[in-house]
Amino acid sequence: MRTHFWRGAAIAVAICIAPIGVSAADNQAAAKKAVEKKPPSVCVGLDINACGAKAECLWRKQVTTKAGKVRRAHCRLRPHHQMAKKAA
C-alpha cells in the first residue's frame, strides 16, 4: 500500500517539474543559437578584380556539377593554410 502512495507522489512531482526543465532548456538553446551567428565574410559580393586585390580572398570559376547544376563564379575566403603559405 505504501509503495503506491510514493509512486503517485513521485509522478505528481515529475509532472510539475517537467515543464520548468523544458522551458529552461529551450531558453538556453535559443540564446546559444543567437550567439553563433557569424558576420558575413569580407569576400562576399566582390567582383573578380576586387577579389584578386585582397590577399585573403580567392576567386572561384563557374562550374557545372555532375548533376548538371551550374554554380556561378564567386569570391570566397581563402582557407587558412593557404593564407599561411602565401604570407611565408
Which set of grid coordinates corresponds to residue 19?
A: 515543464
CB of 59 closer than 8 Å to CB of 72: no
pLDDT digits (tens, 9 = 90+) for 27-36: 676 666 666 7
Render pLDDT for 14-68 as a digit per residue (tens, 0 to 9). Answer: 676 656 555 556 667 666 666 677 788 899 999 999 999 999 999 999 999 999 9
The C-alpha atoms of residue 57 and residue 75 are separated, in whole angstroms, by 7
Can you tell me the distance from the alpha carbon of 21 to that of 62, in angstroms, rounded to the nearest whole number? 50
